[in-house]
Amino acid sequence: MNGLGLVYKMYGDQFAGGVIPVALSGNSPQPAPKYPAGSPDQPVKSSGSPTYPLDMVAALSADRKFLIVSVVNATESEQKLDLSVAGAHLAGPSTLWQLTGNSANAVNHTGQPAQLAIKESSIGDAPATIKVAPISVNIYRFPVERSGQ
């Protein structure tokens, strides 16, 4: 499967079936624009988010048993993020699905060994700080402890 197909597979497997969007916040805003406002090279509104340089989205599973967090690191260096969840307690073994390759130009070709692959791994309990591999798409699934458990 090519890289785009692998991304669709990851997101389809984890974010399908009536997930409930969850708000994300961060304290790492998009840097100031390089070009003057109105310049053809500068958009009117920044597309960045307060999780720069990471792109992130989160949701609860339809049954509310899991918090699912997607983190894309398009940089060539490891990034760290502090995971702080309000309104829920994460408890139990968590899972990471990670799509990465040996370089930013990695491509899968028919009849050749895959340069891109999805790796599933157990990461134990939700860590306070997550290290995000360079040039990677990551989906974390954290069990949510229900009240009274």
For residues 89 and 103, what is the distance between their CA atoms, to the nearest angstrom? 36
For residues 62 and 15, what is the distance between their CA atoms, to the nearest angstrom? 9
Among 65-69, 85-89, 91-95, the minimum mean pLDDT is found in: 85-89
* Predicted TM-score of the model (pTM): 0.86
Please state the domain extents for the chain.
Answer: 3-27+49-145
25, 50 contact by CB (below 8 A):
yes
What residues form DSSP beta bridges with 56?
71
pLDDT at 149 over 60: no
Torsion angles phi and psi, residue 11, rounded to 5 = -70, -40
Residue 31 — very low, low, confident or very high, per pLDDT cuts 50/70/90? confident
Residue 1 — very low, low, confident or very high, per pLDDT cuts 50/70/90? confident
38, 105 contact by CB (below 8 A):
no
Both tokens of residue 125? 């309990």
pLDDT tens per residue, range 93-140: 999 999 988 777 888 888 989 889 999 999 999 999 999 999 999 999
CA 71 centroid distance within chain: 2
- Does the domain spanning 3-27+49-145 belong to CATH 2.60.40.1180? yes
Query: What pLDDT shows up at residue 46?
Result: 63
Strands 94-101 and 116-124: antiparallel
Q: 65-103 burial string, b = 16+ CB within 10 Å, else e?
A: ebbbbbbbbeeeeebebeeeeeeeebeeebbbbbbbbee
What is the residue whose two structure tokens read 């785009």?
A: 4
